[in-house]
Amino acid sequence: MSYQVPRGTQDILPNEISKWHRLEELIRQFTYVYNYQEIRTPIFEHTNVFKRGNDSSDMVNKEMYTFQLENSSTSLTLRPEGTAGVARAFVEHKMYGYADLPMKMYYVGPQCRHERPQKGRMRIFNQFGVEVIGAKSPLLDVETIALGWSFISALGLKDMKVLINTLGDDASRAAYREALKEHFKNDIDHMCTDCKRRYEQNPLRILDCKIDHDLDVMKQVPKMADYLNEESKTYFEQVLEGLDALGIPYEVDDKLVRGLDYYTHTVFEVVSVNKEMGAQSTVFAGGRYDGLVEYFGGPEGMSGIGWAMGLERLLIALEAEGISLVDEDSLDVYVLCLSPKASTTVLQVVTQLRAAGYRTDTDYLNRSMKAQFKTVDRKHAKVAIMIGEQDLESGSAAVKNIETKEKTEVAFDSIVEAIDAMFGEAEEEHTCTCGEEHCTCQKEQ
């Protein structure tokens, strides 16, 4: 019997969770200023939310966790990606009738795919994603890319580049599909099983093959740009002009098709060029989708665009560039209990300090003062309060500033005020008085 986590999953332990909290905090800050609102969809959906028609994607054909309810024909699937569920919710709740379209939404949560686990690729992984549904404009394509680019730039990531392509409109893709079928028809029998399936379902997906990508027939493949109609060309040119205007660097990759069949027009990937990332270098990726809302019963022609960012992979990218998200984890106050008879008073002091907003802890194991001071060091506590049996009689406790080593006697009913004063003085010491609006003195100190 195994009591380990299933393959492809992980525990996020208490000593690791602070960087996840920091990421989530930054996500909410950025989505707020871009005026995106959070949406939360179920962790599982009816299977046909993801398995739509003759879908050629690996996700649908090989990677979904699908199960059937006992004594029922209902088929459900654990959420493998976020876009489909958001589009389904958009239609089900008639958000297309809202006065102020487009709807700008974001989500943060787990996704499930049965993939071969490796660095940066888990079977349960967490994504931050954005979806903008209800309008079609090159400016929205630029805005969504800019949100993600601004986010990773604010984190300090530098070894990044944007790969971008267009799949054009329905007519352009139909012409390109025929060209690809003609191009591959004499070689498809010698290609991998997935490529043979893709040849019949959606030959564009052959361009994404990781097995046959070195074949000569793949190197000589026709370019999508040669099959775009004027409308699609103009749309893509406006997207690139918008990226230029915002100073976002990019490379046009004419073989970029993305892994899901619902994409139209703009598709993109933001990848790390840092060697430490290995094969899983994509940090976030997405594109425009024109038919998804209509598939779920919404208005015809209502378009959307979005992307998803893998948080596990983002953390790997940060580590590869030596970027730490959080400062040293520390306590504000540690209260040492020096006698079992003082435990009730210690609990009262701890509770008062927590109510005042100070991160506080104490000992529950009746350890020696020496052992408790070792915890003060390990927890990087800024203040230590010592309460023993004699302190109960005097009605006061010793309060020690760990940094300055200064120790004072403080009455129990004045401890919160004393801690307020200590932390207030610490803030004043680091406050610059030069009067400059954008002062750098604090950093220089």
For the annotated binding site for L-histidine, the residues are 81-83, 113, 127, 131, 258, 262-263
Nearest to 383 by CA among 443, 432, 341, 425: 425
Which residues belong to the annotated binding site? 81-83, 113, 127, 131, 258, 262-263
3-state secondary structure 101-152: CCEEEEEEEEEECCCCCECCECCEEEEEEEEEECCCCHHHHHHHHHHHHHHH
* Phi and psi, residue 220, nearest 5°: -105, 20
Residue type, 90: F
CB 159 within 8 A of CB 273: yes
Residue type, 261: D
Nearest to 160 by CA among 309, 284, 318, 272: 272
